[in-house]
Amino acid sequence: MRTPAMVLAAIALAGTSTAAAQRREASGLWYSVGVAPGWARVTCNICAGHRKTALSAVIGVGGSAGRVVRIGAELAAWRQREGGVTQTVMSFGAVAYWYPNAGRRFYLRGGAALVTHRTNDGTDVITSSGIGPQMGVGYEYPVGRWRLAPFAHYSVGVLGGVKFNGGQAAGSATVSFLQVGVSLTRH
């Protein structure tokens, strides 16, 4: 008689501790870092619009808004130097990750970002910026207390302009930024 009662008590305690762990994960702080090849492009009526490839990085921090959604802020940066010209793209935005499955591995990502581009040849500086959507997908693999996630993220700034040495050069520009890489996230 004692054995079935002890088994039931053990199952109840295990279920309670598992539920508590899931609640901690669902409501806790998260942070992530990642590296990726990145592609950046600026298009406007005076821009060439070529897509350049270089190494990029992303960092993020936030909290969970339930079991299937986490929200936060992310900063992504890309830099390329070629022939004495340095180009830098930065994307800073608010982001939400949605996990549609119960296992919380596959995610869809969306939000809004300020995307900036700067080209400097040592004499002249051209800057472009825009605000627009960001989106992406990824899949997280548990690795101890971390999650390793291959991802593809895209940000595009569409509401902005172009400046040449501080003066207005074009009224509208589109700055786009694509990353395909891997990140480490701690929940």
The predicted structure's pLDDT at residue 27: 54
In CATH terms, 27-186 corresponds, of 1.10.10.10, 3.40.50.620, 2.40.160.20, 3.40.1030.10, to 2.40.160.20
Note the pLDDT tens digit of each residue in 153-163.
Answer: 999 988 777 87
> What are the residue ranges in the chain where pLDDT is below 70?
1-27, 46-50, 102, 169-170
- DSSP line for the chain: -HHHHHHHHHHHHHHHHHHHHHHHHHHSEEEEEEEEEEEEEEEETT-----EEEEEEEEEEEEESSSSEEEEEEEEEEEEEETTEEEEEEEEEEEEEE--STT--EEEEEEEEEEEEEEE-SS-EEEEEEEEEEEEEEE-EEETTEEEEEEEEEEEE-B--EEETTEEEES-EEEEEEEEEEEEEE-
